Chains A and B, each alone.
Chain A
Amino acid sequence: MLKKILFIFTLLFLFSVTVYANVSELTRENPISYDIQKKSVSFLAQVNGKYMYQPTRHFAIYEKGKFGEKSVFKGLVPNLDFYDALMKINAFAGNNMTLKNKETTHVQGTEFAVSVTWKGAGRSYSIDEVINESNNKPIVMKFGGNFENSKNKNTGCLLCFDSCPVGVVSNSTYTYGAIEKRKEVTMKGNKDILPADKTDVVITLTAK
């Protein structure tokens, strides 16, 4: 019996160490990492408590971008570095969104499983767990690319909640305008799961 309990505790300890290691590996000086074998990219971000109570159309934006304060997570990695990291893991950029077709087109490109973890979280939470989506539809993040728009508009958008001609990665479930204009859905951070405002988190995208 004692051996079993010790074994379970060892497993729990190793698991928590692994989760913590993921969080502590990334720093402000080195906020992004990628793994070509696992086809995954991880970056450091901070929780913005405001958007657990107010709706937004942005999952993560680079903190120094034009819209840096408008997302559930303030990304500490510049949007173009994020784009480069996704290209390095050989993700395919859809590049099918334009400023003209945005309201009728769903973003294409490599689909990602997006997860979030932080020190003390105990495990990684999927994007569907950390975001309250009013229609309860799954959030399907795809690599839209949009390098030129991302560079020229300098909004800092990393991941958006509807198909976006500027954001590097966006949700293909909805076309642009579904949140702000047509009010088809609202998105907020899940206050029952997410840690306090300004907590450092690691967001990981793994190609499906």
Chain B
Amino acid sequence: MKCIIKITYLGMVFGFIFSLILGHSLWLEMRVNTSLALPFFSLVGIGAGFLRIEDIPASLVLITQGIMVCLFSYIHGFDVMAWTIVPAALFRDGFFLNVISLLVINKILLCLIVLGNLSLVPFSKSFKLNIFKNG
């Protein structure tokens, strides 16, 4: 189960990265729902998780998450309001949740981020194993 959550979370993070990149093109942003990358990659993640594709290293998820944060900081800077509105708006547009307020979506996002990062907990276990191997 943890593996499925981890891969789905990785898919979601990839979806955010692609939404941000696609949405950066104003021409494209004005014509298509660039946030659709979010459900698309999340579904790919769920599919991959259920197909029992090999477990992915936690470091891959962490690096991808880092890339997402850097990309967001590059596009929107460190404006706290932008951090609370834009990701939630992307999520809302992508999953067609227009009736839900951004406040509720932010709570959902927070839960997903916590759940996604909790699924990486075995990272410490493998880290220990690596130490033993190297030692």
A interface residues, Cβ below 8 angstroms from B:
48-50, 52-58, 67, 69-70, 179-181, 191, 197-198
Contact = CB atoms under 8 A, between A and B. Distances in A.
Given A49-B85, A49-B89, A69-B93, A54 B30 contact: no
Contact of B30 (A67, A191, A197, A198): A67
B85 A179 contact: no
A198 B26 contact: no
Interface in B71-92: 76, 79, 81-82, 85-86, 89-90
Contact of A180 (B27, B85, B98): B27
B97 to A, nearest CB: 12
Interface in B46-68: none
A50 B30 contact: no
Which among B23, B33, B90, B98 has the highest number of chain A CB atoms within 10 Å? B98
A69 B94 CA distance: 11
B17 to A, nearest CB: 16
A53 B79 contact: yes
A54 B23 contact: yes
Listed residue (B27, B79, B89, B101) with the most chain A CB atoms within 10 angstroms of its CB: B89
A181 B85 contact: no
B89 A191 contact: no
Contacts of B81: 52-53, 191
B36 to A, nearest CB: 12
Nearest to B98: A69
Query: Is chain A's binding surface mostly helix, strand, loop or mixed?
Result: loop
B85 A52 contact: yes
Given A48-B89, A179-B26, 4 more contacts: A52-B85, A53-B76, A58-B30, A197-B85
Interface residues of B, number: 18
Interface of B: 23, 26-27, 29-30, 33, 76, 79, 81-82, 85-86, 89-90, 93, 98, 101-102
A50 to B, nearest CB: 4
Residue among B23, B26, B76, B81 with the highest chain A CB neighbour number at 10 A: B26
A145 B79 CA distance: 39
Contacts of A57: 26, 30
B102 A198 contact: yes
B102 A54 contact: no
A45 B43 CA distance: 33
Nearest to B33: A69
Q: What 3 A-B pairs come out closest when comparing CB atoms?
A: A50-B89, A53-B82, A49-B85
A198 B76 CA distance: 21
Nearest to A49: B85
A102 to B, nearest CB: 15
A54 B101 contact: no
A54 B34 CA distance: 13
B30 A70 contact: yes
A7 to B, nearest CB: 39
A69 B86 CA distance: 14
A180 B27 CA distance: 5
Contacts of A52: 81, 85
Contacts of B85: 49-50, 52-53, 197
